[in-house]
Structure 1
Amino acid sequence: MSEKEILNTDILRARIAELEYGKSEKISVEGIRKIYIEETGMEPPGEITIYHSSDTQGIEELKSNGKDSGFDGTIIHFYNPAKNINRSYTITRGSETLEDGGKGHPHDWIYNGLGIFTGKINEQFADAKRFDMMVTQKITEKVEKETQELRLQKSAIGHSLGGNLVQMLQLTTNSFDNVYALNDAPPSAYQLALVDSYFRFSLADKFNRDPENFDELYTIPPAELKSFAEEYYKEKGANIHHLTAQEDVLYGVSGVRGFLDLGDRTFVDTDPGFAGLRGTFANLSDKDLQVLQMFLATMAPYYQENGMDGLMRGLIGVDQEFYTLLDTIEAEWGKLMDGPDWSSVDVNIAVPAGGFPSRVVNVTVPLPIPEFPTELVYALGQLGLRVEEIGKRLAKLSENLPALINMAAGVTLIIRYEIASYLNEIEGHIHNITKSIGSLGDLLIKDLFDPGIADYEKYVIGILDVAATIMQETANIKDKFKKIFDGSIEFIDGFGKAAEAHGVAHVASSLAAQDGKRYVGNDMYRFKVTSEGQRIEVNLSSAVRIYQIGIDKYQDKADMLNKLKESYHRQYLDDFQTRKSRLIGAINDMEANPHSYRYLLPGGDVEMRGISVHESINPLDAIFTDTFEDAFHYFQAEQTKGIEQLRSIRSSIEKLFQEDKNISTIFDLR
């Protein structure tokens, strides 16, 4: 059994983790081979198999059923029984602003808040665990068919949110030999308390809290909670290896309440002139953080039940059901005003019977009073209850806005005024809704069913006015929250150095800078500084692609040219010689066997004594053959010239970086 890591350097792991963010394609065998060859100058040591979460039935079924947690991941399996290699790498993707290539919901960032910070949801962790278990079983079954003795060795790599997920998997399952967390979002004690009941009960026992009341965990002093949790998971976390840029934005926020630091950590100083954000986020009040934490915790059930729509219901009381309710009321009210059904009453009438006693007859009499639609009555009642709910939700949101404003003001002047002003505007929108609702909610519940069409009309018109205000103002609130979210992302991007330091490629570039390398996306750039101080830089990955594709194209052209030559010789030169040979053979036969050709002469008594043929067979026209030969020569010369140019470019790069013996191999290996 080979105990060595195959992806055995931080740069290799970082570059392959970067592949998980590929916008146009998934992690591929070709992409892994390319990076491995570029970094090691050798072929990967075994057969590579890729397993994607998007191709895993259990994960995709949840997504297709509207239960998309936002999780994405890949497992890479290296297998070579001859070298005792049977190792997998579980790679979990980090936070994306929006799912589905920027068209979906911000599930990752919601999970960062509700899952990591509050510990109230665990869907991404559950999907990561399910994915890892399912693929591990597939690999094990596949290997066991060939050998019973080669144990699967597992490692995990994760960046950002992905780094959080692989740490959570290790702390709860202890299934990895090594875990590599790159600029990770650290796990929190609250997150672990949700998925690890033993830990939650240990917390409750240590700090005298009710294990069934999760919210009581938020009242544990953060420093004491951190100390206890880190000691509890110390052994399982010993093989977690962090690679962290000192300037990374997530490292900046990792000091706030609940976050844990387990395993060993290697720092990379990607910019000596920038101190990072840790000191900035240290200014946040723990009291305000606790208020935010407990408020966000109340949103988790709504998000779990109905995703983004449920989250908006929990936050401001408005969801798609609310809009459907308004559509129902408008439709039913239209039916009432356009032409309602008429009510009727049964009346007993005494009818005279010609001197006999009157006979009582029951008659149904129409009344000019419209019958109020029961659907409208029900919908108005439901809307009244919903208006009351909206008022309560907005009141709760309003209570927590001061803490949010304080936090926005405490981070930095760059966003203090912008985000704080949005939060103040939200307060204004909430006030407008509350004012509009007034006492209408109570009146509707108490007096809605009074039997007067005038009263019904008054309440319907009034409640539709309130609904219109709610729709407008809640749209404004949503817009402000979106601007806060976008502003926060822009704020992080605006820090530039902190955002850049968070990227995997930037960390890899910082590590490789001393070797004259940097990385842009999945490409390796080589650079060196001349004695005159001039920096020369080459996109080596692109140069290798151009060289290999060019050589392949010229080889294709060479194959085609050879086929054309063969066809030319076969159909023209060889065919001419074949025809000429047949003709000469026929002539020789006539001269050798003249009697056989007597039938060619007229008359029956003629004797054929001899035939003599004086042949003159011209060769193929030189213009014809020269045209072909010139064309073949031209194409051959062009091919030779192109290959020489490609080899010249390769040779120049090899000479420029002659100290790196791997470059020649990189050009040759594929």
Structure 2
Amino acid sequence: MLLNSDKIRLRLLSEEYKELSAKEMEESIRLIYIEETGERFTGEIHIHKKEDASTGYNGTAVHFKSEEESVDELYIISQGTQDQVDWKYNIKSMLAGISYSQSTSTLQFVKEVKQNMNLPSDVSVIGLSHSLAHNNNVAAHLRGDVFDAIYSINGAQINYYQMFHADEKFSEEVINHFGVKNEEEIYEVEPEKLKRFAEQHYEDKSDHIHQLISTDDPLYGVSGVRGFFNLGETHFVDTNSEVNGLRSIMDGVPDEVVKDLQSLAIQYTEASERGGQDAVLKEILGVDMSVLVQKDVWGYGNAYISGELEPAIREANEKIGPLLEQVKNVTSNSDIITTRLVEAGYITEEEKKIIVEEMGVIEESLVESKKRLDLYSSMSEQTTPVLGDGAWLLDTKGRIEKELEKIEESGHKLDPILSKLGEEIVSSHGIPEMLKALSSGDTTYEGTDMVMSTIVGGKSIQINLTAAMRMYEDGRNKLQEKSELINRLELSAQRLVHDDYHNEKLRVLREIADLEQNPSYHAYLLGRHASGYYGGNKRLQSIEVHEDLPRLHQIDLSDAFLKLHKSVQEGYDALEKYRKSVEQLFSEEEKVSKLFDLVGSYANN
């Protein structure tokens, strides 16, 4: 395999997030290959990109072809979690275990690329994935055998509930084995038994899957809860030794709490597919926003008198009960979860206290809102609506708004704590932290740039080698562009000045020759210049032109162009001086000099 190290695959994965053009990505891939292997890939690289707005799937196909090196490999880089659409899909596919649309997009993308690039059916196809992309690639592979190998970092693990919906064969076997009668009953099967069954069912495909996982990655932290199962070879790396990771925290969350989270996620999935965010509020909270959210008193009065408001509030009351129980179940474990966050080093004791208190406030506000809805429902059953009830209705509305204000205030208090927690957790999910953890010796990484260190005069010096190579290559490319522009300018000057002068001189001489050879044809000209000549019996017998065509003066641009060419050479000299200064720092490291040579040869092509 051409990309045969974790570090080169990680750096290639990182390029997918930079939204590069196909040309820019090819250049970046070639330079990464030089830095990581010390060799230059001389074959062809073809790139095809895909964005599926309907599912949120983004991916890039990179085809490496070299007959000389016997390379014919197609890499499918499925993009990981990026935006709100992806995180919504995370809830649907990984937590709820329902949606599998992005894995379908992955299957379609592989087929599309093979057709567009006219690749043979047996071309080697390798999946590279990070985060959500692992779930996409593995689900696609389990459904359609599309990959010869999958390499992932900090992947969102596959979910057996998800595969129950996505893979018809697996679904049939689960139904037959466990006696499941419908889709709802799948969630009543004992999770551990279903997990073992899924692992055995897909065992023959697990050899193709290779994972690199940070023990501090948040997705690894939740991968022990019900629904998830791990396939393939997995190598764990502690990328942040200052914390203990989230896995120990989530492993302590009771299964019934996870089940409630899944229930909420399932409701969200089904509702959003029917009508977006308003449908979610109506399905989960029972809130019909078009009826309950009025701008003024008259709006509420009209809704009340017309009879629209009562059924809307009744539905909200019916739905908020089960929801509140689920929320209580989750928040009742907040002390356990926050204690473990303190033990793991993610938050302080003071921050834990704030989280627990404010979560309690949020739950209390939901409880109070439920009480007001209960009271309204009981009153409406005993009385006939009259206009005087409007005052009580507005009072109820005001009380509920106060509870919502409390929830908002608690959110403001929680935000800085959760934001800081999120930043630390998310950093362990990213590629740079893993790259740094994999580095050894005098080579490390800053972001995804390669950094080399050396000792000079007893002091440690670090050089961002990627930035140095990038500057060297970009500098040579810019100087080459400048040289080509100067050459074109010289040609333009030759054409616009010397050639135009020569052509204009020839035109004038041709006209003179025509005057002298055909004088009678030009007799009419005398009417313009000879007074009293009107033709008649007079005839023009000859024309003799005495021309004096001056030579070009002060048009010699050779000195100007010489100075321009000299400036290019001075630029090359400055780059080489810069290169030598870097090489001198690593005088015992032949790799640095070789990398400069390879980058220089690439820039010249």
| Range into which the TM-score falls when normalised by the shorter chain | 0.7 to 0.9
Report the counterpart of residue 479 of structure 2 in structure 1.
554
How far apart, in 2, do the equivalents of 1:643 and 1:200 lie? 65
Matching of residue 177 in structure 1 with residue 175 in structure 2: no
Instruction: Choose the corresponding residue for 2:261, options 264, 280, 292.
Output: 292
Shift of 1:482: 9.1
- Which amino acid is 1:71 matched to? Y
3-state DSSP of counterpart to 1:318: coil
Q: In 2, distance between residues paired with 1:319 and 1:23?
A: 40
Kindly report which structure 2 residues correspond to 1:140-289, keeping only aligned pairs within 5 A, or say none: 140=115, 142-143=117-118, 151-206=122-177, 208-214=178-184, 216-271=185-240, 274-289=243-258
2:591 maps to 1:665: no
Alpha-carbon distance in structure 2 between the residues aligned to 1:435 and 1:420 = 23
Q: Verify the 8 A CA contact 1:182 1:242 in the aligned structure 2.
A: yes
Unaligned 5+ residue runs, structure 1? Answer: 63-68, 100-105, 334-375, 450-454, 580-616
Q: Specify the SS of the correspondent of 2:206.
A: coil
Corresponding residue for residue 30 of structure 1: 27
Contact 2:324 2:367 in 1 (8 A): no
Report the alpha carbon displacement of residue 176 of structure 1 after superposing the two structures with TM.
Answer: 0.9
Counterpart CA distance in 2 for 1:192 and 1:578 is: 77
User: In the alignment, which of 74, 79, 102 is matched to residue 60 of structure 2?
Assistant: 74
Shift in Å, 1:294: 3.3
Aligned residue in 1 for 2:571: 642
Q: C-alpha deviations, 1:13-49, integer Å up to 9, x for none? A: 1112112222677883333333333333313633312
Name the CA distance, whole Å, in 1 between partners of 2:398 and 2:149.
57
Deviation sequence 1:194-239 (CA, Å, 0-9, x none): 2234334433444x4534042x433444333332221221112221
Paired residue for 1:315? Answer: 284
Q: Per-residue CA shift, 1:84-108, capped at 9, x if unaligned?
A: 6543222222223xx3xxxxxx333
- Deviation string, structure 1 residues 243-290 (Cα, Å, up to 9, x no partner): 122332322332223321211112334355654333233322233323
- CA shift, 1:557, in A, is 4.0
Contact conserved, 1:388 with 1:441, CA < 8 A, in 2? yes
Shift of 1:183: 1.0
Q: Which residue of 2 aligns with 1:389?
A: 315
Aligned to 2:91: 113
Preserved CA contact (<8 Å) 1:248 1:502: yes
Q: Residue 546 of structure 1: CA displacement?
A: 2.5
Give, in whole Å, the separation in 1 of the partners of 2:42 and 2:401.
59
Q: How many residues are matched?
A: 545
Counterpart-to-counterpart distance in 1, 2:358 and 2:456 = 55
Supply the AA of the counterpart residue of 1:143: N
Structure 1 position 518 matched with structure 2 position 441: no
Residue in 1 that maps onto 2:421: 491
Aligned residue number for residue 16 of structure 2: 20
Distance across 2 between alignment mates of 1:574 and 1:187: 71
| Mapped partners of 1:126, 1:575: distance in 2 | 65
Change in Cα spacing, 1:570 to 1:426, as seen in structure 2 (3 Å) is closer
Separation in structure 2 between the aligned mates of residue 239 and residue 166 of structure 1, nearest angstrom: 11
Secondary structure class of the residue paired with 1:185: coil
User: Whose Rg is larger?
Assistant: 1
Call closer, same or farther: CA 1:240–1:515 in 2, change over 3 Å: farther
Structure 1 equivalent of residue 536 of structure 2: none
Unmatched segments (≥5 aa) in structure 2: 505-549
**Contact 2:103–2:139 (CA under 8 A) maintained in structure 1:** no
Q: 1:71 to 1:565 in 2, by over 3 A?
A: closer
Asked whether the 8 Å contact 1:316–1:474 carries over to 2, the reply is: no
Letter of the 1:180 partner, please give it.
Y
**Bigger shift: residues 150-159 or 483-492:** 483-492
The offset of 1:319, in angstroms, is 5.6
> Normalized against structure 1, the TM-score is what?
0.70
Give, as a single letter, the amino acid of the residue that structure 2 aligns with 1:35: I
Aligned residues of 2:154 and 2:214 also touching (Cα < 8 A) = yes
Q: Is the 8 A contact 1:171 1:233 kept in 2?
A: yes
Q: Is the 8 A contact 1:401 1:423 kept in 2?
A: no
Q: Deviations over 1:112-142 (max 9, x none)?
A: 33421231x31xx323323432441452365
Length-normalised TM-score, structure 2:
0.77
After TM superposition, the structure 1 = structure 2 runs for residues 458-477 of structure 1, keeping only pairs within 5 Å, are: 458-467=388-397, 469-470=399-400, 473-474=403-404, 477=407
Identical amino acids, percent of aligned pairs: 25
Tell me the amino acid that sits aligned with residue 590 of structure 2. E
Tell me what 1:527 maps to.
452
Quick check: 1:116–1:188 contact (8 Å CA) kept in 2?
A: yes
